[in-house]
Copies of this chain bind each other. A is one copy, B any other.
Amino acid sequence: MISKNRLKHIQSLHLKKFRLEHQCFIAEGVKVVNEFIGSAAYKPLEVFATVPYLNAHHKQLEENNIPFTEVSEDELKKISLQSTPNQVLAICPMVHQKLDAVKLHTHLNLFLDDIKDPGNLGTIIRIADWFGIPQVICSPTCAELYNIKTIQATMGAMLRVPVIYENFGAVLKTAPDVTIYGAVMEGINVYKTRIENGILVIGNEANGISDDVLSHVNRRITIPPAGNNGSESLNAAVATAILCNEHARLHVV
């Protein structure tokens, strides 16, 4: 059973404003919550779960000293952000990651310039995880990492890949001589060049890379369309995957 006050508190976390105020957020579903339980930084402050979940996982919660409350399906529905809640909801602490300036030189890093769709952001973090990208830097106007749609789309990758919100100018200051690659519509054919270490900039879904950031890009890269259909663009996450793959294929053998 959840008290009225707790209910109100949890529901308030459905809104970004209150997530920021309380510095915590909601993660949901068996697979996702179980990954969070095993995480050092994001370890849940509290878990609300139905009987089937608790029967299977109460030991894990006890071993990790995570307080939990049994709830009915109806109660879970009231606190959930999902249309079909899946057994468990966790409240987790926000983590503020710091930019690693050294890795800007030793790895390929991502800078997301105004990626607005939380599903895209989450998918990109998952891609970064797969390709060993050490950090994803988001412009302050990007979608929120702690939006439930972002969290679900990362499939746990946000526990492994630091996500930093920072202006491009501030990033440049820490690494003024790093190579800046940018995904654009008219640039060098990606198959005829090499994406080495540095920063790869991915622009907004509708408008691409902003003029200010673009002025700092010194390697403009294009994925050439293979079709002649009049296809206009690739989804931002898909373009990210292809460019990260082009970087990875140089090194993974």
Contact = CB atoms under 8 A, between A and B. Distances in A.
Given A191-B252, A242-B242, A126 B234 contact: yes
Question: Taking the full assembly, how many copies of this chain does it contain?
Answer: 2
Contacts of A232: 155-156
A238 interface: yes
Contacts of A229: 129, 132, 157, 160-161
A231 B123 contact: no
Interface in A141-193: 155-157, 160-161, 189, 191-192
Given A245-B223, A252-B224, A253-B191, A127 B230 contact: no
A232 B237 CA distance: 18
A81 to B, nearest CB: 15
A251 B191 CA distance: 10
Contacts of A130: 223, 225-227, 231, 234
Contact of A123 (B160, B227, B235): B235
